[in-house]
Structure 1
Amino acid sequence: MTRTDAGIDVTSFGKIGIIAGNGLLPISVAHSLASQGRPFAVLGITGEMDPRGPLSQYQHEFIALEEFGSLARRLKAMEVETVVLAGGVERRPKLSQIRPNWETLRVVPTIIRGLSLGDDGLLRVIVRYLEKRGLKVAGAHEIVPDLLTPKGPLGHIKPSARDLEAIRKALEAAKAIGALDIGQGAVAVGRRVIALEGIEGTDGLLERVAAMRGHGRLAGKEGGVLVKCAKPEQELRADLPTIGPNTLRMAHAAGLNGVCVEAERSLLLEAAEAVCEADRLGLYLYGVTAEEQKP
C-alpha cells in the first residue's frame, strides 16, 4: 500500500481524471502522475485548457461548461474513478447556450444554485454532484503532496520584523475577504492594507498595486507583501491558494518585498524555480503556519 505523508492511500484512487482549467496546476499534476506511471486522463474545459499545450500529449478530451450535465458520464467513459479539479476558469456557463437534452436539463437547478453561491460555493456544488454519481474527488495536494507549500522561509531571504507586521495585517485582511468568498489574497505595506484580491485574481491584484506605485499612490520606499491564504470555509479539494514563479515576478514588478502563503494549505507550483526567482529578485518567499496566524 502506498501512502502520502498525510496518510492518504494513493492506490485507492484508481485511474485519475484531471478536470483541467487554465494555468500551471493541471500541468503540474499531469506531469507528476506521468512521472510516477500512474493512470490518468485529462478532461479539458473548452476555452480554458490550451488545446496545443503540454496537456495535449496525454489522453485528453474537451468539455464545454454548458455540457456540465454530461460531466460524470464523460469521466466514467474515460474509466476514471477519482477526479481532481485543477486550474482556473475565467468565465461562467451561459445558461442560454445549454443544449436542451434530458441529461443536462436535470442539473440546471444545480448549476443555478452553484452560480449564486460564489466561487467556493460553486465548487462545493460540483464536488457533491460528482460524489453523488459515484466518483471520488481528491485535492491536487492529495494527488501530488509535493505541491503543498512548506513552512518558514523558502529561500535565502527572510522577512524582517517590519515585514512580519505587514504579513499579519495582510493575513487579517485576506481572512476577512475569504470569509465573504471574495478572494484569497491581500497586499499590505507596513501596517496598512492597500489592496484586496477580487474577481480578477492574484495577477490582477498585483497589476493594480504596480499601477498604484507607478502613479505615485504609494509614497515612500517601503515595499510591502502579498499574502495568500485559504478561505475559512475553503473546500480544500479545490481552489487552494496557488502561486508560482510568475507570482514572484509580478510581486517584484509591483515593488513588493516578498510573498507569503499559508503553509500546508496552499500550492507552490514549480517550487524550485519559484525559490530561485525569489532569491534572484531579492524577495522573501515565506510559508506562514497556523500558530503564526494567531493574534
Structure 2
Amino acid sequence: MSRTAIIAGQGALVETLVAALDSPLVYALEGFEPAVPAQPFRIERLVPFLDQLINADVDKVIFVGAIRRPRLEPEAFDPRTAQLVPRILTAMQSGDDAALREVLDIFEEYDLKVCGVDEILPDLVPQSGVLTGDPSEADRRDAAQGAAILAGTGQFDIGQGVVVAQGLCLALETLPGTAAMLEFAGRHRELRPNPDGAKGVFFKAPKPTQDRRIDLPTIGPDTVAQAAAAGLAGIAWQAGGVIVLDRDRTVSAATEAGLFLWARD
C-alpha cells in the first residue's frame, strides 16, 4: 500500500494538511518540529532517511511549513549522504531556491514523487478575483508596482513580499520575514508623499524561478492583522501562487478591518 509523507516545518499549514490527508507519515527536520507529532531526521543522514521512506512504502512526498537553513555538522554525515555534499553545497551557493530544487531532485531520484500543496488542497490557493473589499484604481496601480518589483528582485532570492504606497516601495520582505516587513512599513507610513492619498498595498507572490511544489507564500488571519496595524488598504497576491490559510477567518478579519483581499491575475 502506497503512503504519503509530509516533510513538515513550522506553521498552521502543517496542521491543515495533516488533517486533510488519510493517515500521512509526518517527518520534520531536527530543530524545526511542527506543533503536530513528527519523526525527526537530519540532513546529514539524508540517504538513510530516504531509505526509511521507501521501506515505509512512501511514494508521494509533500514539503510544507517554514524552516531556516540548518547548521550542518560534517562529522555527522554517513558515507552515502557525504557523496551528495558537493551537489548540495554548490546549489546553496546559488541561494535557497537552488538548494531546495536540488533536494527535490534527490528525492525524485529515489522514485519519490514531490507534490505541491496546491495539488493536494487546491482550494487553499485562490484563483483570480476579489475575496472581499474593493481595491481602488490607486490600489491596483500599487499592486502592479509590487508585482513588478518582485519580478525584478526574484533573481536575488530575497523574499516574496513587498509594500507599495502611492507607487513607492515602502518595504521589501527579507530574511526576518513578513511580520517584520509589515511592522517596518507601519513605522514609516508617514513617508507616503500624500498623507491623505492611497494607504498602500501588501503584495505577495512566488519568486519567478522558484519551484512551486515547495515554499509557496502564505497569508492568513495573522497577516491581515499585521497589514491592518501597518495602516494599509489591503493585501493583493499573484492569483494561483499564494496559499490562503483558514479562508473564512481571513476574509472575515479583512472585512472587519476594512481591508481588501485580491488574487490578482
Amino acid at match of 2:86: P
Paired position in structure 2 for 1:292 = none
Paired position in structure 1 for 2:33 = 49
**For 2:240 and 2:77, how far apart are their aligned partners in 1?**
43
Confirm or deny that 1:71 pairs with 2:45.
no
TM-score by length of 1: 0.83
Q: How does 1:164-183 map to 2 (within 5 A)?
A: 164-183=140-159
Confirm or deny that 1:22 pairs with 2:15.
no
Aligned residues: 263
Structure 2: stretches of 5+ with no match in the other structure: none
Query: Closer, same or farther in 2 for the Cα pair 1:46/1:194, shift >3 Å?
Result: same
Paired position in structure 1 for 2:78 = 101
Q: Which string of whole-angstrom CA distances, capped at 9 and with x for unpartnered residues, describes residues 145-201 of structure 1? A: 11112321102x110111111111111111111133221111100111221111222
Q: Which string of whole-angstrom CA distances, capped at 9 and with x for unpartnered residues, describes residues 52-85 of structure 1? A: x2x22xxx31113443343312322333110111
Query: Closer, same or farther in 2 for the Cα pair 1:164/1:100, shift >3 Å?
Result: closer
**For 1:14 and 1:144, how far apart are their aligned partners in 2?**
19
Equivalent in 167, 184, 193 of residue 191 of structure 1: 167
Query: Closer, same or farther in 2 for the Cα pair 1:105/1:188, shift >3 Å?
Result: same
> How far is 1:98 from its partner?
4.9
Paired position in structure 2 for 1:124 = 101
TM-score by length of 2: 0.92
Report the secondary structure of 1:252's partner residue. Answer: helix
Report the secondary structure of 1:95's partner residue. Answer: coil
> How far is 1:43 from its partner?
0.5
Does the 8 Å CA contact 1:210/1:255 hold for their aligned counterparts?
A: yes
Confirm or deny that 1:135 pairs with 2:112.
yes
Q: How does 1:182-221 map to 2 (within 5 A)?
A: 182-213=158-189, 216-218=190-192, 220-221=195-196
Q: What CA RMSD, in Å, does the superposition of the two structures yield over aligned residues?
A: 1.9
**For 1:74 and 1:114, how far apart are their aligned partners in 2?**
25
Q: How does 1:268-283 map to 2 (within 5 A)?
A: 268-283=244-259
Paired position in structure 1 for 2:39 = 61
Query: Closer, same or farther in 2 for the Cα pair 1:100/1:179, shift >3 Å?
Result: closer
Report the secondary structure of 1:250's partner residue. Answer: helix
> How far is 1:107 from its partner?
1.8
Equivalent in 267, 280, 283 of residue 243 of structure 2: 267
Paired position in structure 1 for 2:204 = 228
Q: Which string of whole-angstrom CA distances, capped at 9 and with x for unpartnered residues, describes residues 222-262 of structure 1? A: 42011011222120111112111111111111111100111
Amino acid at match of 1:47: G
Report the secondary structure of 2:67's partner residue. Answer: coil
Paired position in structure 1 for 2:121 = 144
Report the secondary structure of 2:39's partner residue. Answer: strand
> How far is 1:95 from its partner?
3.0
Confirm or deny that 1:32 pairs with 2:16.
no
Amino acid at match of 1:111: I
Structure 1: stretches of 5+ with no match in the other structure: 1-12, 290-295
> How far is 1:218 from its partner?
4.4
